[in-house]
Structure 1
Amino acid sequence: MELLGFVAICVASLVGAVGQRALGMGFGLVTVPVLVLVLGPLPAVTAVNVLGALTSIIVLAQVWRLVQWRRLIWLLLPALAGVVPGILIATSADDAVLKTVVGVLILAGVALSVWMRRSERPLEGDVPVAVTGAVAGLLNGSVGVGAPVLGLYGAVGDWPQRAYAAALQPFFFVLSVTTVVSKTLLDPAGALPWPWWAWLVVSAPLVAGVFLGDRLAGRLPERTARAIILLISLLGGISVLWSGVAALIAG
Structure 2
Amino acid sequence: MDIPGAALLCVLAVLGAGLQRISGMGFALTVAPFAVVVAGPGGGIAVVNACSALLAAVLTVHLRQSIDLRRAAVLTCFGIVGVGAGALMARVVPGAWLEIVIGVLVIASILLVSRPRLPGARTRGGGTVGAGLASGFMSVTAGISGPPLALYAVATGWEPQRFAATVQPVFLVLGATSFATKVLVPRGALDGSVNGMLLAAVAAAALCGAALAGTLARIIRAAVARRILLLVSAVGGLLVLGRGAGDLLS
Distance in 1 between the 2:83 and 2:207 partners? 27
Inter-partner Cα distance in structure 2 for 1:94 and 1:209: 34
Could you tell me how far apart the structure 2 residues matched to 1:218 and 1:74 are?
A: 34
Distance change in 2, residues 1:43/1:159 (3 Å): same
- Structure 2 residue 17 is the aligned partner of structure 1 residue 17: yes
1:228 is aligned to 2:226: yes
* Residue 245 of structure 2 corresponds to residue 243 of structure 1: no
Which residue of 2 is the match for residue 208 of structure 1? 208
For 1:238 and 1:29, locate their aligned partners in 2 and report how far apart those are by CA, in whole Å: 11
Structure 2 alignment gaps of length 5 or more: none
1:31 and 2:31 matched? yes
Q: How does 1:27-66 map to 2 (within 5 A)?
A: 27-66=27-66
Aligned-partner SS, 1:208? helix
Q: Which amino acid aligns with 1:148?
A: P
SS in 1 for 2:194: coil
Q: Do structure 1's residue 129 and structure 2's residue 128 form an aligned pair? A: yes
Find the aligned partners of 1:216 and 1:237 in 2 and give their Cα distance: 21
Aligned to 2:180: 181
Query: Contact between 1:60 and 1:170, CA under 8 Å: does it hold in 2?
Result: yes
Partner of 1:3: 3
TM-score (norm 2): 0.80
Q: Is the 8 A contact 2:20 2:27 kept in 1?
A: yes
Q: How does 1:25-174 map to 2 (within 5 A)?
A: 25-101=25-101, 103-104=103-104, 117=117, 123-174=122-173
Q: CA deviation at 1:109?
A: 6.3
Which one-letter code corresponds to 1:52 in the other structure?
A: S
Gaps in structure 1 of 5+ consecutive residues: none
User: Cα deviations across residues 108-154 of structure 1 (Å, max 9, x unaligned)?
Assistant: 566566778276x7734332122111011111122222233233333
- Give CA-to-partner distance per residue, 1:31-90, whole Å, 9 cap, x none: 113322322221111111111111111112221101001111221111101112101111
Kept in 1: contact 2:138–2:145 (CA 8 A):
yes
Mapped contact 1:113–1:155 kept (Cα < 8 A): no
Residues 86 and 138, structure 2, Cα contact 8 Å, conserved in 1 = yes
**1:193–1:216 distance in 2 versus 1, CA, 3 Å:** closer
Q: Kindly, what percent of the aligned residue pairs are identical?
A: 27
Change (3 A) 1:237 1:141: farther
Secondary structure of 1:189's partner?
coil
The SS at the match of 1:117 is: coil
Q: What is the TM-score when the length of structure 1 is the normalising length?
A: 0.80
- Change in 2 beyond 3 A, CA 1:134/1:212: same
Q: Structure 1 pair 207/113, CA: closer, same or farther in 2 (3 Å)?
A: closer
Q: Distance in 1 between matches of 2:11 and 2:139?
A: 22
Measured after TM superposition, the shift of residue 205 of structure 1 is 2.6
Matching residue's letter, 1:43 = G
* 1:241 to partner: Cα distance: 5.4
**How many pairs are equivalent?**
244
Partner of 1:192: 194
Give the Cα–Cα distance (whole angstroms) in 2 for the partners of residues 219 and 125 of structure 1: 38
Cα distance 1:217–1:24, how it changes in 2: closer, same or farther (>3 A)?
farther
Following superposition, the deviation at residue 14 of structure 1 comes to 0.8
